[in-house]
Amino acid sequence: MKRSGILNAELSKAIATIGHGDILMIVDAGFPIPANAWRIDLAISADLPTLDQLYSVIAPELIVEKVMFASQVAEHNKPLYRSLTTWFDERDFVPVTYEDTVGPLAQKAKVIVRSGALDPWGNIALVGGVDYKAYFNDPECAVPDMYRKWLDREPFIPGAKRR
């Protein structure tokens, strides 16, 4: 038996396949998942699992470069926004239109994970990143300016209490 982390074999495999720029979406129970998508349906019943429960197991295992969500979330679904700030770095937040979340982002997503959440605008696109510090740890390797911001920033620890 696997000792820790995600026990669902398909979800664990999906996360392991996410590369730089790939999109993994975590969506609510009513999301219109495209027919050709790699769908991982974890919905059991209303709000089981919740979005927060899924973030809590996915965020520690996935390097995320962008978190894309409907712009309505910050103002109209404050509990969801708070959950996002717990599990993901606000510096990586990219609000988009709701139409983008159910249209172009869903079409481009490599994986779509369906929750049981009944959460307004609860469709979040996580864009895979890389560990820039690991890539640029050789002092003889020049760091282009476009990557400097990633190297100079304080690390974000998903789920950690912040000041």
| Cα distance between residue 99 and residue 13, in whole Å | 29
Integer Cα distance of 138 and 136 in angstroms = 6
What's the rounded Cα separation, in Å, for the pair 79 and 72?
12
pLDDT value, residue 147: 87
**10-131: which CATH architecture?**
3-Layer(aba) Sandwich (3.40)
What pLDDT is stored for residue 106 in this prediction? 98
Q: Which residues are catalytic?
A: 20
pLDDT at 33: 97
Q: What is the pLDDT of residue 49?
A: 98
Give start and end residues of each alpha helix (H) in 59-121: 72-76, 78-87, 98-102, 104-108
User: What whole-number distance in Å separates Cα of residue 117 and Cα of residue 112?
Assistant: 14
Domain boundaries, the chain: 10-131
In this predicted structure, what is the pLDDT of residue 110? 98
Consecutive 10-residue averages of pLDDT for the chain (163 residues):
93 98 98 97 98 97 97 97 97 97 98 98 97 91 88 90 61
Whole-number pLDDT of residue 162:
62
